[in-house]
């Protein structure tokens, strides 16, 4: 069962056909993420089915996902100038590590678990800052009506839960191939849950202007 393809495809189609109100920038970024996962995971599954090394696809996916969500936090959520500078610096640091890891440690023929782990950790830190801002939001609206709540929750559930999976993937791929398969199926479950939360965010009506 290709849950990593079925989940983003289903949510993407539901958003296109059942979106109740107009799209805002947050919605467009989340839809772009869903479409990118459908694209990258689709290619990865096709290559795997034909017994062709697909790890280079995950390198591309990791790079694009980090770029997209860093842009998401920088432009839509983080307003403090100092924190914005920190985000830029940490993203530049991620890029340096990404290419060093690609060239010298985990090449395009192996899964880039280290880059995924660092990227997921950074996004979890940005999400923590976003939740802090959300707690300071004063309005008559309930938190469950806010796009920001659902998007941040989806990011935290997926990347937070997957962090340990990314960290342990390289070790398990050496000692037990079967355990790696089980681990990735668990990853896909968290990914599917994150997609559901993104769907809820896109269909919520209220966006907090930073």
pLDDT digits (tens, 9 = 90+) for 111-167: 999 999 999 999 999 999 999 888 877 666 688 888 999 999 999 999 999 999 999
> Which pLDDT score, from 0 to 100, does residue 18 have?
75
Half-sphere exposure of 172 (CA within 13 A, CB side): 15
Taking only the tens place, the pLDDT of each residue in 71-109 is: 999 999 998 999 999 999 999 999 999 999 999 999 999
Cβ-in-10-Å burial (0-12, 13-18, 19+) of 82 comes to exposed
Band of pLDDT at residue 20, cut at 50, 70 and 90? low
- Mean pLDDT confidence for 200-206: 86
> Which pLDDT score, from 0 to 100, does residue 1 have?
58
* DSSP track, 82-114: HHHHHHHHHHHHHHHHHHHIIIIIS-TTS--HH
Residue 74's CB is within 10 A of a number of other CB atoms, namely: 15
Cα–Cα distance for residue pair 138/19, rounded to 1 Å = 27
Model-wide pTM > 0.85: yes
Does residue 12 contact residue 38 with C-beta atoms inside 8 Å? yes
Cβ-in-10-Å burial (0-12, 13-18, 19+) of 57 comes to buried
Q: How far is CA 25 from CA 30, 105, 158, 207, in A?
A: 9, 37, 21, 10
In sequence order, the β-bridge partners of residue 137 are none
Cα–Cα distance for residue pair 51/55, rounded to 1 Å = 12
Look-up: residue for tokens 């989806």?
A: 154
Cα–Cα distance for residue pair 132/51, rounded to 1 Å = 45
């Amino acid at each position: 069962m290709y849950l990593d393809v079925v989940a983003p495809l289903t949510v993407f189609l539901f958003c296109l056909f059942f979106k109740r109100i107009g799209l805002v920038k947050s919605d467009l970024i989340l839809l772009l993420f869903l479409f990118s996962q459908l694209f990258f995971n689709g290619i990865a599954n096709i290559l795997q089915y034909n017994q062709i090394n697909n790890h280079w696809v995950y390198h591309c996916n990791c790079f694009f996902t980090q770029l997209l969500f860093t842009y998401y936090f920088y432009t839509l959520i983080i307003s403090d100038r100092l924190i914005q500078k920190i985000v830029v610096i940490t993203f530049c640091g991620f890029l340096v590590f990404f290419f060093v890891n690609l060239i010298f440690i985990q090449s395009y023929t192996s899964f880039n678990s280290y880059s995924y782990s660092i990227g997921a950790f950074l996004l979890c830190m940005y999400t923590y800052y976003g939740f802090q801002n959300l707690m300071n939001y004063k309005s008559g609206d309930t938190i469950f009506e806010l796009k920001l709540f659902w998007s941040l929750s989806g990011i935290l559930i997926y990347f937070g839960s997957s962090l340990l999976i990314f960290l342990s993937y390289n070790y398990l791929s050496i000692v037990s191939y079967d355990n790696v398969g089980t681990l990735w199926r668990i990853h896909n479950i968290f990914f599917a849950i994150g997609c559901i939360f993104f769907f809820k965010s896109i269909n919520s009506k209220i966006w907090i202007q930073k």
